[in-house]
Amino acid sequence: MEKIRNFEQVCNILARYERNPNSLISILQAVQAEYRYLSEEVMTFVASSLGISPAKVFGVATFYSHFTLQPKGKYEIKICDGTACHVKKSIDILDALKQHLHLTDKEHTTKDMLFTVETVSCLGTCGLAPAIVINEEVHGLLTPETAVQLVKDIQKSEALANE
Amino acid sequence: MNKAKITIDNQQISFSDERNLLEVIRKAKIELPTFCYHSEMSIYGACRLCMVEVEGWGLQPACSIKPAQDMVVKTNTSEVRAMRKMIVELLLASHEVNCPSCEKGPDCQLQKLAQRLGVKKVRFENSYQDRPVDDSSPAIIRDPNKCVLCGDCVRVCSEIQHVGAIDFAYRGANATVMPCFDKNLDQVECVYCGQCVRVCPTGALLPKSEIGVVWQELHSNKTVIAQMAPAVRIALGENFGLEPGTITTGKIVRALRRMGFDYVYDTPFGADLTIVEEANEFIGRWQQQEKLPMFTSCCPGWVKFAEQYYPEYLPHLSSCKSPQQMVGAVSKNDLVKNHKLAPEDIVMVSIMPCTAKKFEAKRPEFSGAYGKDVDHVITTQELATMIKEMGLDFNSLEQDSFDLPFGFKTGGGVIFGNSGGVTEAVLRYTSEKLTGMKTDSYIFNAVRGEEGLREAVLTIDNRPLKLAVVSGLGKAQELIEKVKAGEKYYDFVEVMACPGGCINGGGQPINHGLHTKQKRTSGLYDNDRMLQLHKPQDNPYISEIYETVLQKPGSTVAHEMLHTHYHPRKRIQTDDVSITETSPENKLVISICFGTSCFLKGSQNILHSITQYLKMTGKEKYIDIKATFCYEKCEQGPVIKVGDQILTQCTAEKAIEVIENSL
């Protein structure tokens, strides 16, 4: 029933912005918050509802890096690669997580849709370098090993929850 | 009062209400280079080629600033020259530079500019990366490797045509003009009008060539027939150095025969026939006061537009096939019946100013017992290329005349190529038919003109006849919205997708010269005046074909051969939004229309009631719900589809009842 709730939310979002095409960016932000990404079908739905062309919506969605067209995992891991984290070897953490989760340069999300691993420019927590954020939670002063351990803990609790 | 003046390269130039500095500079007879400036579209300022030095302001793009009193402008300083050259070099460095084999050939603005500005060597390393060419559509080829991102195509498609099939996607070095979701053109709402092809400065958008296959047919043992649209005869000469509007009909016929066409027919014969059928259809509707306004249907770009955006008006379109298809149908019928040729040995090639005609010829509606009405469509540009390939010296060719019977036409069929032409030809027929009186006059100035939307009220048979002539799909949309809202009423509406009509089509020679459109328009009206006959009903071969084949206008035979009907069409080939978790056991698919009209009529409440009902009865797992656009029955909304059953004016109770019965 989650999808029904999602979809009703999209209808509510469109109604809240009075189907005004000038509010496209705000609408897309709200829709992405609902689905965690923007699918072709939903973008076409939004375009038709606003009376603009889907190509225009696609243009806006691909222009801003805030928007994502790929479904993201349940846990979004953002590895800080700002200057402070970078000199503290954040890339080693990225490589370790990618290896652990079998991700590549092109694939950022695991097949089980649990994890998405990405880099961000600066989290503003340089005192904790190298730092990562998992969903809303910040973890600092990490090594590749402690970072992988965080992921292993999540995997363990997810496995338990599924039993 | 003193006129406002500015100084441009030491000349005093007066100005009044020019749109921007660029227009004033052009008034001073200085041809500033531009890629992205077209006077009929919005100002974009992307290409930066029109940079000039304005005293006190530094370097400025002339397209994006207003002229001001006493402004001092220099267009040819060493800084300006160096900058223009560098822009062209940078474009070339990220461009697939295969100019000798590029189809755009000498019409390419980038190539012209590089030569004009003296770019001898590109100082930057070529960083262009090969990207796939989209040749999916029957009409237009999109080659991103040749794109300079000027955005002309994007703006003509959204601002002039209100379609918006292509737009910029991604950003920075990855920016590309593409259809939504990087789909191919044949998967999206493109109506194939080819206006993007007309404005593209490079080879990034081109008509899809059928030259190869036409040569193949000509070299085979088949009987190959040509037919030529009106707008070709006044534009083809431009490819051979002639002025737009120069009538070269005789030379073209000669060239076609030299190429090996067995019969050369004239599309305006089909236009005469279209008028007789369409005018009778109109008279019937007008007298019955049903399905008005009647819209013309000879423009395939407009037909696809209507199928996608105004399905509720499809019954208002004339059911007549376009002249191209009519000539195909009647000439194949004639060759099979009277010349005993096998249908598979006949090939009909039409020469059109239009890219959408390529699409029209391939529509399944236009295949009959003798195969396709029209087998191949080449554009005016492609015919010019074929003439050059063969090495014919076009300008010194002798004249020749069309074959009978389908090569004989009246002026009424020739003016079809101008916006307003169809309406005028209908009036030439209708006025005599309804009053029963022959007249010598044949010109209806009321429907001529350059405006994208023109209205006229004429009195025929003591009744007011309200007409509208519209060209450019954006204008058509504005008109239909007003008709829908009840603000406007018309009896007859002519729609042409291209501004100005077929003379300005996407398959015409590339010509950015001043007044090209106007000169082509007068070329066709001149051609009309030069012919002996002007009214389709006076064409003796039209009378003959009714006697021998078609019986009378609107007869069963005529309907089979010359009429068709159209279907609602989905704009984008994409999945519907799935609202429920899908799993293999889900047996019954319920699609709820969420188009604006159905939404306002309460489709969200129906969805809510259905999901509540499913939750309460525990039947969720047997159902898959999708949100969709649109079952094209907007006037009967909300529309819901349960399994294969379409429910109109649906209520929650009605939907639930049908779901219960279906489970």
DSSP state letters, B515-563: THHHHHHHHHHHHHHHSS---GGG-HHHHHHIIIII-STT-HHHHHHHB
Contact state of A53 with B596 under an 8 Å Cβ cutoff? no
- Please name the residues in contact with B162: beta carbons below 8 A apart, sequence gap of 6 or more: B473, B474, B477
Which pair of structure tokens corresponds to residue B620?
Answer: 């969720």
Q: Which of B217, B360, B424, B432 is catalytic?
A: B360
- The sign one gets for the Cα dihedral B651, B657, B658, B663 is positive
pLDDT tens per residue, range B59-100: 999 999 999 999 999 999 999 999 999 999 999 999 999 999
Say what percent of chain B tops pLDDT 70. 97
ipTM for this model: 0.89
Name the minimum distance, in Å, from the CA of B247 to any CA of chain A.
40
pLDDT band at A60 (very low <50, low <70, confident <90, very high): very high
Is residue B398 flagged as an active site residue?
A: no
The rounded distance, in Å, linking the Cα atoms of A84 and B79 is 42
A26 touches chain B (CB under 8 A): no
For residue A1, pLDDT beyond 60:
no
Q: Report chain B's mean pLDDT, rounded to a whole number.
A: 92
B180 touches chain A (CB under 8 A): yes
Q: In a mutagenesis test of the B interface, which of A1, A3, A4, A19 is the best target, namely the one with the most B β-carbons within 10 Å?
A: A4
The rounded distance, in Å, linking the Cα atoms of B457 and B489 is 11
The class (CATH top level) of A2-63 is mainly alpha
pLDDT tens per residue, range B335-382: 999 999 999 999 999 999 999 999 999 999 999 889 999 999 999 999
pLDDT tens per residue, range B457-492: 999 888 999 999 999 999 999 999 999 999 999 999
pLDDT tens per residue, range B570-613: 888 777 777 776 665 657 888 888 776 777 778 888 888 888 88
Q: Which domains does chain B have, with CATH numbers?
A: 5-76 (3.10.20.740), 89-207 (3.30.70.20), 212-393+402-508+516-562 (3.40.950.10), 577-662 (3.40.30.10)
pLDDT tens per residue, range B425-445: 999 999 999 988 888 889 999
In degrees and rounded to multiples of 5, residue B176 shows phi and psi of -145, 145
pLDDT tens per residue, range A65-119: 889 898 888 898 999 999 999 999 999 999 999 999 999 988 889 988 899 998 9
The DSSP call for residue A57 is H
pLDDT tens per residue, range B248-282: 999 999 999 999 999 999 999 999 999 999 999 99
Which pair of structure tokens corresponds to residue B39?
Answer: 């006077």
- The sign one gets for the Cα dihedral A110, A114, A116, A122 is negative
**CATH 3.30.1490.20 fits domain A75-162:** no
Is residue B112 flagged as an active site residue?
A: no
Residue A7 is predicted with a pLDDT of 82
- The sign one gets for the Cα dihedral A30, A34, A40, A44 is negative
B181 touches chain A (CB under 8 A): yes
> Mean pLDDT over residues A127-144, rounded?
93
The rounded distance, in Å, linking the Cα atoms of B553 and B530 is 28
Which residues of A36-139 form beta strands (DSSP E)? 75-80, 115-120, 132-134, 137-139
Contact B257, B390 (CB under 8 A): no
Residue B630 is predicted with a pLDDT of 63
Q: Where is pLDDT greater, at B642 or B314?
A: B314
For residue B1, pLDDT beyond 50:
no
Name the minimum distance, in Å, from the CA of B171 to any CA of chain A.
5
Contact B325, B333 (CB under 8 A): no
pLDDT tens per residue, range B520-544: 999 999 999 999 999 999 999 999 9
pLDDT band at B631 (very low <50, low <70, confident <90, very high): low
The rounded distance, in Å, linking the Cα atoms of B138 and B562 is 23
Residue B311 is predicted with a pLDDT of 85
pLDDT tens per residue, range B14-55: 999 899 999 999 999 999 999 999 888 999 999 999 999 999
Q: Which of B163, B169, B615 sits opposite A58 (nearest CB)?
A: B169
Angle at B155 (CA atoms; ends B153, B158), nearest 5 degrees:
105
Residue B588 is predicted with a pLDDT of 81
Going by C-alpha positions, the residue among B346, B398, B404 that lies closest to residue B370 is B346
Going by C-alpha positions, the residue among B514, B512, B475, B519 that lies closest to residue B493 is B475
Sequence ranges of the domains in chain A: 2-63, 75-162
Which residues sit opposite B453 in a β-bridge? B470
- The sign one gets for the Cα dihedral B592, B598, B601, B604 is positive
Angle at B90 (CA atoms; ends B86, B96), nearest 5 degrees:
140
* C-alpha separations of B339 from B80, B228, B261, B269, B331 in Å: 67, 22, 16, 20, 11
Is residue B298 flagged as an active site residue?
A: yes
Residue B205 is predicted with a pLDDT of 97
